[in-house]
Amino acid sequence: MTRQDLIAALWHGRDPFADPPADLRPADLQGWRSIHPYLEEAVIDLRPAVIVEIGTWKGASALYLARTLAERGIDGTIVAVDTWLGAVDHWADAGLFAELRTEHGFPSLYRTFLANVLRAGMADRVVPLPLDSVNAAELMRLRGVSADVIHLDAGHEEASVAADLRAWWPVLRPGGLFIADDYDRLGGRFPGVTRAVDAFCAEFGVAGPWSHRGKCKFVKPE
Ligand SMILES: C[S@@+](CC[C@H](N)C(=O)[O-])C[C@H]1O[C@@H](n2cnc3c(N)ncnc32)[C@H](O)[C@@H]1O
């Protein structure tokens, strides 16, 4: 599926990056573990046409994936799923809450993401999908969009990760790769991620997960 196909399926044919604003924010690629060998290896090994990232924030990891695709000459697209409203960990921390840049009582984080994508010259590699994870998964399923690679980095509570894994599993094609962030067998800051991923892999008989430097990955059986 090309970017144009994805825009037809998800945006009724209207390119969300058409007609960008003149007053773009400065580039600001603050993120967490946005550059990681699992992301690069996923691009190199699978040569994906469609990567879905759930939890994009300012776009640092989505742009790393997009740049890696471009450098390898792979004609793939990142579907960036995010409410751009933040999660509990952002609202509970004063410093991270400030990053949401609320205006009149509503976060304006999307505008930072938009500026980053446009300034990086990667608009033709990214399709934003500003929905919550479960609705986005259902829309993609309804529209017959499947993913070669999924990078999950949204809510980090056990219940939300468990719900996201169930929602997105049908969207991942057989043989596709699932990567989840904030996985740490020693517990770490978000032990619910590890519990949810381990329980999911056990229930669905999935080999792995393999983990490295805070991310884990596993393959959907063919
Ligand atoms: C940790 S940040 C993502 C960081 C990004 N991957 C990076 O490397 O810079 C998590 C993001 O997930 C989004 N998010 C949290 N729960 C979500 C949900 N249920 N649906 C959609 N987006 C969600 C938040 O708005 C936030 O932007």
Give per-residue pLDDT as tens, 13-46.
999 999 999 999 999 999 999 999 999 999 999 9
Q: What is the mean pLDDT of residues 145-155?
A: 98
- Please give the pLDDT value at position 185: 85
For the chain, give every domain's residue range.
Answer: 3-13+34-85+116-219
Beta strands 126-129; 50-54: pairing state: unpaired
**Distance in angstroms (rounded) separating the CA atoms of residues 180 and 209:** 10
| Ligand 1 mutation pick, 82, 138, 161, max ligand atoms within 8 A of CB | 82
Q: What is the mean pLDDT of residues 67-83?
A: 98
Question: 2 C-alpha vs ligand 1 centroid, how far in Å?
Answer: 24
| Ligand 1 mutation pick, 35, 126, 153, max ligand atoms within 8 A of CB | 153
Omega before 209 within 30 of 0, i.e. cis: yes
> Which CATH number does 3-13+34-85+116-219 carry?
3.40.50.150
Say if residues 208 and 218 touch (Cβ distance below 8 Å). Answer: yes
Give ∠ CA 26-63-84 in degrees, rounded to 5: 70
Q: Which residues contact 197 (CB under 8 A, 6 or more apart)?
A: 161, 165, 180, 183, 209, 216, 218
Asked if residue 216 has pLDDT above 90, the reply is yes
* φ, ψ at 103 (rounded to 5°): -130, 120
Task: Give 170-211 pLDDT, tens digit per residue.
Answer: 999 999 999 999 999 887 889 999 999 999 999 999 999 999
Question: 11 C-alpha vs ligand 1 centroid, how far in Å?
Answer: 21
H or E, element range at 181: strand 172-181
Asked if residue 10 has pLDDT above 90, the reply is yes
Q: Which residues contact 189 (CB under 8 A, 6 or more apart)?
A: 156, 182
Q: What is the distance, to the nearest Å, from the Cα of residue 121 to the centroid of all Cα atoms in its chain?
A: 19
Asked if residue 164 has pLDDT above 90, the reply is yes
Per-residue burial over 61-95, b = 16 or more CB atoms within 10 Å of its CB, e = otherwise: bbbbbbbbbbeeeeebbbbbbbbbebbeebeeeee
